Chains A and B, each alone.
Chain A
Amino acid sequence: MSYLYAAYAATWLIHVTYLITVFRRYSRLKKEVEQLAKK
């Protein structure tokens, strides 16, 4: 049973980690767009 939960948890850990990296890229890009708009 622990292997089952480990597999399901690992799946969502991988997806959430990827989503966090996408979100961080988005935040960085948003700052760059704001800086460009100020100029």
Chain B
Amino acid sequence: MKKAFPILGLLTAVLLSYALYEALVVAPQEQTMGDVQRIFYYHVPSAWTAFLLFAINFLASVLYLVRRNPQTDRIANWVVMALAVLTCTGGYVFRSALPKDVYPSSVATTGIAIAGLYFLIRKYFSEQGTDILALTTAEVGVVFCTVVLVTGPLWARPVWGIWWTWDLRLTSTLVLWLIYVSYLVLRRFSSSGETPVLAAALAVFGALDVPLVYFSIWFFRTQHPQPVIGGGGSIDPRMLHVLLINWLAFLCFAFLVCWSRYRLERIQRDVEETQALEALLEPGGQVR
């Protein structure tokens, strides 16, 4: 795995460079906004990456909480499977109740993807591993969310004539960022043994804001542009191609950063454990 990291790093650097070239040179110029529209190729993939990382943080936090008791762990497994089945069938049964442009297949795919991710994390991460994964994804997610909050106003100023407005999409994104910053502050400055549990509970509630941010422009009239994919929106196929390449590049980059940060946190915890043991074994510090 150690050898794979530099190779993946190099491939990601090449992909990011190619994505930048596509965004600045290859993508067609938007007619009304001009070149400033190209901010979209960094703003939207950063937002999607942040949402994905917060979703992983949510699942890891749920797993950390339920794994503390074998019985709740078993119940949670059945609940996740039931939810997956429900989303697969429910979308088709209640087709008429679904909002416009929300297809039963999209609901089913989302349900299966979330359940699959839950069981993947459960299989490959220990109890402590899920805690570290939650911390890592929250930290990298906040970085991507910061990019969204910085690039958004830089696009809004020339297009709207203002840097910021308190509409639902912008405000809920800011609230999302604040929730995860408080999560990181809690983890950084609290030394209580219950910190991971408190942080996991905060993350579970914090994740409720993600669907609100995502669907705010689907169901409400906001100043923020309406969705370009789903929700009644449309996009030039060449622009979509560039958007997806940029998202892939940012996903690879986020994966590598999370991987490094995960390994760093594991070593940090091992060192802290060794130091604590050493302090106990020092003369005068022995446990009787």
Segment of B62-70, B77-85, B147-155, B170-178 engaged in the interface with chain A: B147-155
Q: How far is the CB of B274 from chain A (nearest CB, A)?
A: 6
State in angstroms the CA–CA spacing of A18 and B138 once bound together. 13
Contact between chains at A10 and B143 (CB < 8 Å)? no
State in angstroms the CA–CA spacing of A15 and B12 once bound together. 14
Within 8 Å by CB of B158, from A3, A19, A33, lies A3
Within 8 Å by CB of A11, from B150, B261, B264, B274, lies B150
Contacts of A7 in B (CB 8 A): 39, 42-43, 150-151, 154-155
State in angstroms the CA–CA spacing of A8 and B264 once bound together. 28
Contact between chains at A29 and B271 (CB < 8 Å)? yes
Q: Known contacts being A4-B35, A7-B154, A11-B151, is A22 close to B46, with CB within 8 Å?
A: no
Contacts of A4 in B (CB 8 A): 35-36, 38-39
CB interface residues, B 1-38, toward A, < 8 Å: 20, 24, 35-36, 38
Contact between chains at A25 and B278 (CB < 8 Å)? no
**Chain B interface SS verdict (over half):** helix
Q: Known contacts being A7-B43, A39-B278, is A22 close to B261, with CB within 8 Å?
A: yes
A1-26 vs B, Cβ < 8 Å mask (1 yes, 0 no): 10110111011001100110010011
Contacts of B150 in A (CB 8 A): 7, 10-11, 14
Q: Known contacts being A18-B143, A32-B271, A36-B271, is A11 close to B257, with CB within 8 Å?
A: no
Q: How far is the CB of A12 from chain B (nearest CB, A)?
A: 9
Contacts of A19 in B (CB 8 A): 257
Contacts of B264 in A (CB 8 A): 22, 25-26, 29
State in angstroms the CA–CA spacing of A6 and B147 once bound together. 12
Of chain A, the residue at the smallest CB distance from B152 is A7
Per CB-CB distance, the 3 closest pairs between chain A and chain B, nearest first, are A7-B154, A7-B39, A7-B151
Residues of B within 8 A of A (CB): 20, 24, 35-36, 38-39, 42-43, 46, 140, 143, 146-147, 150-151, 154-155, 157-158, 253, 257, 260-261, 264, 267-268, 271, 274-275, 278
Residues of A within 8 A of B (CB): 1, 3-4, 6-8, 10-11, 14-15, 18-19, 22, 25-26, 29, 32-33, 36, 39
**20 A-B residue pairings within 8 Å (CB atoms):** A1-B36, A3-B158, A7-B154, A8-B20, A8-B42, A10-B147, A11-B147, A11-B150, A14-B147, A14-B150, A15-B143, A19-B257, A22-B257, A25-B268, A29-B268, A29-B271, A32-B275, A33-B271, A36-B278, A39-B278
